[in-house]
Structure 1
């Protein structure tokens, strides 16, 4: 989904130094909760490469269709069916991605509970900031997911339009404009999502350093 390549800074490094830190039980519980949250997002990251590959294949089919004339309608029908199958695969991938983020969002509530039990005020403030960044990140993902779903529906409509011999250039242009508009929104939401991910990674790293 449009370069969603920025990943969470996973918590596995914590294990390397946690034994040498004077971390209180409540702080240890917070780190464990954050690590669990990161693991929930594994499914999210596993969908990235397959989604990009499917999007690339669909784009190739679209370009092929646009290079054909309506006299090759039988070939257009065949290609449009292939494109619709790819969209179905994309829908399954994005659903898995969405479900993993939903699990992470639920785990965020556990993270907040652990933060509320912290006794060190500066640490608590930093951890609260961390949770706020995560909350904004997940809210942005919800927007991203909704826009992506809209784009998939518009693309589905497009390929069904290609199966109509009476399709006019004006109808085609109008649909393409709608699709491009949807992807503009996806791009904006995606950039914001990546920004929050970077900010979260930096804030988490700073928090870990304070706990050393």
Structure 2
């Protein structure tokens, strides 16, 4: 049942050397904003390892539960309660991640008013492209966040079922199917988010190069 979600891709920070002629230019101002976005997403980055660890732990708990029979009811209840506590922790981490992305989005929006002031057409077009990619990335993350919360809701319902002595197998299977459907959506949106992150990182470097910002 429980599907492992691969870690989200992260925005990269560039080590840069600014050319003197760009001092105070729109390109340099955009650069500073984009690198501040990376800093804002540090909170997002910090949630990845604990989230993965908690997901693995819950997968293990689920595996233990399905191997038990009705005679092990007390153990099933104990494990289910442990899983529910695990879900609460996952929700705390995913909300912190969401807050971090929200702060990054606010910072990123500052570049829009600067793009039109870029004189070099190629650099301006690359800035427009990365702006569109990042906006789509933020949109997908919001969808991903809501899908993840829905998966946590279904997980809670599942472990609540496990604690019922008169649980019917058809009810259990129905709930497991619902949980799987929510995780399918999470995995789908997660893949979209990671792809957009990789595209954005590439486009950001292309913009820096076109704008004359030396990066390494």
| Bin of the TM-score, shorter chain as denominator length | over 0.9
CA contact (8 A) 1:141 1:193 kept: yes
Asked whether the equivalents of residues 8 and 193 of structure 2 are also in contact (C-alpha less than 8 Å), the reply is: no
1:140-179 Cα shifts (integer Å, max 9, x gaps): 1111111100000000011111111011111110000001
Scaled by the length of structure 1, what TM-score is found? Answer: 0.94
Q: Could you tell which deviates more after superposition, 102-111 or 135-144?
A: 102-111
Matched pairs, number: 208
Superposition TM-score, scaled by structure 2 size: 0.92
Q: How do 1:54-65 and structure 2 match up within 5 A? A: 54-65=54-65
Superposed structure 1 runs of 4+ greater than 4 Å apart: none
- Pairwise CA distance, 1:22: 3.0
Structure 1 counterpart of 2:121: 121
Q: 1:132 and 1:171 mapped to 2: Cα distance? A: 44
Q: CA deviation at 1:117?
A: 2.8
Asked whether the 8 Å contact 1:58–1:83 carries over to 2, the reply is: yes
RMSD: 1.3
Quote the Cα distance in structure 1 between the aligned partners of 2:188 and 2:20.
Answer: 40
The separation in 1 between residues aligned to 2:189 and 2:108, in whole angstroms, is: 21
Given that 1:21 and 1:211 are in contact with CA atoms closer than 8 Å, whether structure 2 keeps it comes out as: no
What are the residue-to-residue correspondences of 1:33-112 with 2, within 5 Å?
33-112=33-112
Alignment partner, residue 30 of structure 2: 30
Specify every segment of 5 or more residues in structure 1 that has no aligned partner in the other structure, as ranges.
none
Deviation of residue 28 (structure 1)? 1.0
- Using the TM superposition, name which of 22-31 and 86-95 deviates more: 22-31
List aligned pairs for 1:154-165, cutoff 5 A. Answer: 154-165=154-165
Distance (whole Å) between structure 1 residues aligned to residue 84 and residue 175 of structure 2: 16
Please state which structure has a larger fraction of its residues in helix.
1
Per the TM alignment, residue 38 of structure 1 is displaced from its structure 2 partner at its CA by 1.2
Q: Describe the shift of the 1:24–1:116 C-alpha distance in structure 2 as closer, same or farther (beyond 3 A).
A: farther
Deviation for aligned residue 1:209: 1.2
1:2 alignment counterpart: 5
Cα distance in 2 for residues equivalent to 1:143 and 1:49 = 21
Q: 2-side partners of 1:120 and 1:179: how far apart? A: 51
| 1:180 aligns to 2:180 (yes or no) | yes
